[in-house]
Amino acid sequence: METPTAMAAGIVLTLFGSALLLWCAVELRLRHHLRRHGVPVTARVVADGDPYGEPYGDTYGELDTAPLLAYSVLPSVGRPAGRGEAEAGRGETVLARPRGHTPLRRPAGLAPGAVVRVAYDARRPSRVVIAAGDTTPALPSDIFWTLLGTSALAGGLSLLSEVLAG
């Protein structure tokens, strides 16, 4: 490989691998933190639809791998000061998709209408993860992305070291 091409490829692979490893670390930390310190609630899986209320071509929601969850936020969480007492007793309903690994097809336990345990961030209620016992392990996916980032970083660094040494 010519020197400018090898240098460009090394830089691109190094940046890609570094960014992927950083993203993996941040995502793993966030999911772990939410499962340990998040507010646990029960959520209902709701079907996605078009703006007119009709579901898209997938009637049972099997092709949508990240289910849309509806859950109520605790009344005292995230409320700005100065609201009336009448509003303070009500919780707010949030629609959000969970973070983390989703398989190619939605598991039967996440069909529209199913009830699942989730944990959400008290400061940002739209950050939600499915409770650890209610989902399949994400370890194979996490290992794949970590290995991809590590190999891209190693390949980029080896190209750069070869260019700089030769």
Q: What is the DSSP letter of 109?
A: G
Taking only the tens place, the pLDDT of each residue in 52-69 is 444 554 555 555 567 888
Taking only the tens place, the pLDDT of each residue in 105-124 is 667 777 788 888 989 988 89
Q: pLDDT grade, residue 159 (50/70/90)?
A: very high
User: Which of these, 2, 82, 71, lies nearest to 38 by C-alpha position?
Assistant: 71
Question: Which of 12-26, 58-72, 111-125, 149-163 bottoms out in mean pLDDT, i.e. has the lowest?
Answer: 58-72
CA 73, CA 43: separation in Å to the nearest integer?
10
Q: Where are the domains of the chain?
A: 3-165
Query: Does the pLDDT of residue 39 top 50, yes or no?
Result: yes
Q: Which two tokens stand for residue 117?
A: 């345990």
Query: Does the pLDDT of residue 82 top 70, yes or no?
Result: no
Q: What is the distance, to the nearest Å, from the Cα of residue 25 to the centroid of all Cα atoms in its chain?
A: 12
Q: Which residues lie across from 71 on neighbouring strands?
A: 94
The pTM of the full predicted model, rounded to 2 decimals, is 0.67
Instruction: Name the strand (E) or helix (H) holding 99.
Output: none
CA 154, CA 55: separation in Å to the nearest integer?
45
Query: Pairing state of beta strands 128-130 and 68-73?
Result: unpaired
User: Which of these, 102, 106, 100, lies nearest to 128 by C-alpha position?
Assistant: 100
- N-to-C CA span, the chain: 12
Q: What per-residue confidence (pLDDT) applies to 136?
A: 56
CA 19, CA 28: separation in Å to the nearest integer?
14
Please give the average per-residue pLDDT across 15-44, as a whole number.
Answer: 91
CA 6, CA 38: separation in Å to the nearest integer?
46
